Amino acid sequence: MAFKNIVFIVNPHSGNGATGREWPRIQAAAKDRLGTAFSSCLTSGPGEAARIARSHLLDGADVIVCVGGDGTLNEVVNGFMDEDGPIRKDALLGFIPNGTGCDFVKTLPIPHRLEEALDTIQEGHACLIDLGRLRYRTHQDAPGTRYFHNITSLGLGGEVDARVNRTTKAFGPFISFIWSTLIAILLYGKKTIRLKIDDHYDEEIKIWNVAVANGQYHGGGMRVAPEAVIDDGLFHITVIGDLTLSGVFRHLPKLYNGKIREIKEVTSLTGKRVEAFSQQPVLLDVDGEQPGSLPIIIDIMPAALWVITRNLSSQGCHV
């Protein structure tokens, strides 16, 4: 499909700097396979991808292509949105995965291989996906609003993110996340929170982690929400409750093999609105980034964004 205005937004620091090193090859392959002109912007710091995406969308871009990991993708997604929803309902988002964490493409059919990802963008098939809108407290103790495409978690996930983002990622996503997870488990401890979901759940509970999921995977391959669907208008919420420390280590493989629901201390729920509060500091993990802490209010935004994917089904999709 021919698009008039394609913009690549590239995070050269993603993948421990691998994206910057590989960008000349990616750019050459894009020129070869897309068959149309495009512009490109390399980011220089946090938050810039969202600002660049928003600026180009308001200037009439048809397609924004994100090159990076899930954190960069989250920034670009936020560039598509304002407080009330999408700023351009007709624009498409493409993704070339190239970062420390690329968990979202384990749920959505977007190829990892560069040439296949570019061919997918050139074909131009897109699906409408839901987003989550998160209201939270920033590190400066100010109110914040942010959208997420994959998973927001609270508790251990935020601690893991903080650790991953301040350590080397040279050994790849799995080692980075599993090492940070093991250290965080040993140092972190459970938190007591009050969790509300729609009008059917309101409990004070002790938790290791709560994942509010649009996609199925996060944390370098942890399948925390095996039944999550990105276009069903619902969050799939996984509560990892009052496990002992030995129980956490014993059941750790179930976080990766999709058998998390076999753990008796794990509760699975669905809903459209999630609220959480705590008297303790509880950090957030938002698509691999760590923007702040509780309290939070999360609302589902159904059919909020067109994302370019492989054409595996005609249901809910657009060409």
Q: For the chain of 319 residues, list the mean pLDDT of each consecutive stretch of 10.
A: 87 89 96 92 95 97 96 96 93 90 90 95 96 96 96 85 60 62 75 97 96 92 94 97 87 87 95 97 91 97 97 55
| SS3 category, 54 | helix
CATH number, span 132-302:
2.60.200.40
How many CA atoms lie within 13 Å of 237's alpha carbon, on the beta-carbon side?
A: 25
The answer to whether residues 311 and 123 touch, using CB atoms and an 8 Å cutoff, is yes
In CATH terms, the fold of domain 6-130+304-311 is Rossmann fold (3.40.50)
The answer to whether residues 252 and 240 touch, using CB atoms and an 8 Å cutoff, is no
Tokens of 191: 């938190």
* DSSP codes joined into one string, 172-212: -HHHHHHHHHHHHHHHH--EEEEEEETTTEEEEEEESEEEE
What pLDDT is recorded for position 105? 94
The answer to whether residues 237 and 269 touch, using CB atoms and an 8 Å cutoff, is yes
| SS3 category, 227 | coil
What pLDDT is recorded for position 142? 96
* Start and end residues for every CATH 3.40.50.10330 domain found in the chain: 6-130+304-311
Tokens of 213: 């999921």
Per the listing, tokens 């392959």 go with 29
What pLDDT is recorded for position 163? 63
What pairs with residue 284 in β-bridges? 154
* Start and end residues for every CATH 2.60.200.40 domain found in the chain: 132-302
What pLDDT is recorded for position 157? 74
What pLDDT is recorded for position 183? 74
Give Dmax over CA atoms of the chain in angstroms.
57
What pLDDT is recorded for position 156? 83
What pLDDT is recorded for position 179? 67
